[in-house]
Amino acid sequence: MFDRMMYVIRLIFGGGYPLAFESLSTSQVLHGVKLVKSADGAIDLQKLEYIAAIDDRRAWREAGSRNLVEWVSAEFQESHWTARRWVGASRALPDLPKTQRAMRTGALSLVKVCELVRFATPETESDLIRWAQGVSTAAIRRRAYRATVDPIEEVRADHDARSLSWWYEDDRRLHLDGFLPAEQGAQVVGALDRLAHRLPSDPEVERSSTIDARRADALVALSSQAIADDPDSAKARVNLHVDLADLTTRSGSGEFEAGGIVHPAIASMLCCDATVQAIVHGDGDHTVGIGRASRNVPEWLHRQLRLRDGGCTFPGCHHKRYVKAHHIWWWEWGGPTDLDNLVSVCDFHHKLIHVDGWRVELGKKAGVVHWFKPNYEPFEPNRAPPDGPEQDGFANSFDQRELVGADAN
């Protein structure tokens, strides 16, 4: 118990912990692993308790967030999906004391608890905890889906929650993540499978093409055809930025406006049947923009802004579509329509500036944006905590909780 307490205190508050593994026996290393598991579980539990306290006080409003999920996503730098799971667990755990104890002692991990609380009850949690310790997280998630019989209201909610998101791994590989109600998903699967079997193939690589690769080809074919058939070619355009010197010498990669890096050979291939437009980038002696000529941002400047910001610049906001170009130095006060006076914001966070008195500034480094609360305090949700434990009350919170070895509830 004492070892566990000292481990947590030293690990969190900077005292260090001996990691001379060569001097430790195997049993000592295994014991250390158990300490880490126990400490992780206890800290994760208190994290959920803090989230519940923020929820009770609706304190996420003070940070300019739409809801608790958005606040958790920004504060802990997690995806919205993970944030939703944490919020759900923080609301369910107060009624599940045995699950709390299992988490505090490291018997159940945070990811397992987030799935288990979706269907556990005070009457069933004992048996479910024993079962969950011996199965994978995926098995718990599947049971959570099967164990819940959704009323028609939930069916409608599933329809409203349909989504498709994507992200780039190392800016070179696109990952897709989506959610559809079962009946809509069946249509997508049927269309992709049908087209996957009809697409022409390269006989030299056909043997190595898996069905998954063929489905990926089918999705690309459907998307390419949709862009080609769009009557508004300007809005349907996929924009690729590449320096002319890099393109001709193949010494640098190209970058898609929506994200993603391509090899110069691929960029050269795409230019074969694409509209090519030259854009002069600003340097120390040249400002990109149109100055006071117009308040409206031209499309070519919008492209530059989207390339720089990548979406709404408010910390934790993931909106990339339907964002607006905000004049940092307001137009009506003499501000120019130049790239260094524009910043991307969604409708919600645009209102924070004009209605609630928030302020935004560009940093000295490219792509860095600073937000300020109405009292001019910098908004830094990911700022490190103070060095001294007495400065923020965090040490006292650990004393109050019994995560460092006291009896569990």
pTM of the prediction?
0.44
The 3-state secondary structure of the chain reads CHHHHHHHHHHHCCCCCCCCHHHCCHHHHHHHHHHHHHHHHHHHHHHHHHHHHHHHHCHHHHHCCCCHHHHHHHHHCCCHHHHHHHHHHHHHHHHCHHHHHHHHCCCCCHHHHHHHCCCCCCCCHHHHHHHHHCCCHHHHHHHHHHHCCCCHHHHHHHHHCCEEEEEEECCCEEEEEEECCHHHHHHHHHHHHHHHHHCCCCCCCHHHCCHHHHHHHHHHHHHHHHHHHCCCHHHHCCCEECCHHHHHHCCCCEEECCCCEECHHHHHHHHHHCCCCCCCCCECCECCECCCCCCCCCHHHHHHHHHHHCCCCCCCCCCCCCCEEEECCCHHHCCCCEHHHEEEECHHHHHHHHCCCCEEEECCCCCCEEEECCCCCECCCCCCCCCCHHHCCHHHHHHHCCCCCCCCC
Please state, in angstroms and rounded to a whole number, the distance separating the CA atoms of residues 171 and 262.
Answer: 9
The arithmetic mean of pLDDT across residues 227-256, rounded, is 71
Same-domain status, 112 and 189:
no
pLDDT over 70 (residue 66):
yes
Q: Tell me which of 260 and 7 has the higher pLDDT.
A: 260
In the chain, the number of structural domains is 3
Residue-wise pLDDT for 201-215, tens only, equals 655 555 556 788 888
Residue 168 included in any domain: no
Q: What is the pLDDT of residue 342?
A: 93
pLDDT over 90 (residue 360):
yes
Residue 194 included in any domain: yes
Same-domain status, 93 and 201:
no
Residue 245 included in any domain: no
Confidence band for 388, pLDDT divided at 50, 70 and 90: very low
Q: Tell me which of 269 and 328 has the higher pLDDT.
A: 328
Residue-wise pLDDT for 114-172, tens only, equals 999 999 999 999 999 999 999 999 999 989 888 766 667 767 877 888 998 888 887 77
Q: What is the pLDDT of residue 392?
A: 39
% pLDDT > 70, the chain = 78
Same-domain status, 129 and 213:
no
Residue 255 included in any domain: no
Confidence band for 390, pLDDT divided at 50, 70 and 90: very low
Residue 173 included in any domain: no
Q: Tell me which of 236 and 170 has the higher pLDDT.
A: 170
Domain stops at, among 107, 133, 149: 149
Residue 154 included in any domain: no
Same-domain status, 15 and 139:
yes
pLDDT over 80 (residue 10):
no
Q: What is the pLDDT of residue 266?
A: 76
Same-domain status, 341 and 217:
no
Q: What is the pLDDT of residue 223?
A: 83
How big is the chain, counted in residues? 409
Same-domain status, 113 and 47:
yes
Same-domain status, 109 and 17:
yes
Report which listed range, 121-130, 238-247, 377-386, is most confident.
121-130
Please state, in angstroms and rounded to a whole number, the distance separating the CA atoms of residues 409 and 402.
Answer: 9
Q: What is the pLDDT of residue 372?
A: 93
Q: Tell me which of 303 and 103 has the higher pLDDT.
A: 103
The arithmetic mean of pLDDT across residues 357-384, rounded, is 83
Q: What is the pLDDT of residue 48?
A: 95
Residue 15 included in any domain: yes
Query: Which range marks the domain in which residue 224 is found?
Result: 180-231
Q: Minimum mean pLDDT among 91-95, 162-166, 270-274, 385-389: which range? A: 385-389
Same-domain status, 204 and 139:
no
Residue-wise pLDDT for 256-297, tens only, equals 766 677 787 877 777 666 665 555 554 444 457 778 888 888
Same-domain status, 7 and 87:
yes
Residue 396 included in any domain: no
Please state, in angstroms and rounded to a whole number, the distance separating the CA atoms of residues 369 and 314.
Answer: 8
The arithmetic mean of pLDDT across residues 61-88, rounded, is 89
Same-domain status, 106 and 221:
no
Q: Tell me which of 95 and 224 has the higher pLDDT.
A: 95
Same-domain status, 225 and 362:
no
% pLDDT > 90, the chain = 25
Domain stops at, among 149, 172, 195: 149
Same-domain status, 145 and 185:
no
Q: What is the pLDDT of residue 396?
A: 36
- Residue 117 makes CB contacts below 8 A (sequence gap 6+) with 88, 89, 92, 93, 96, 99
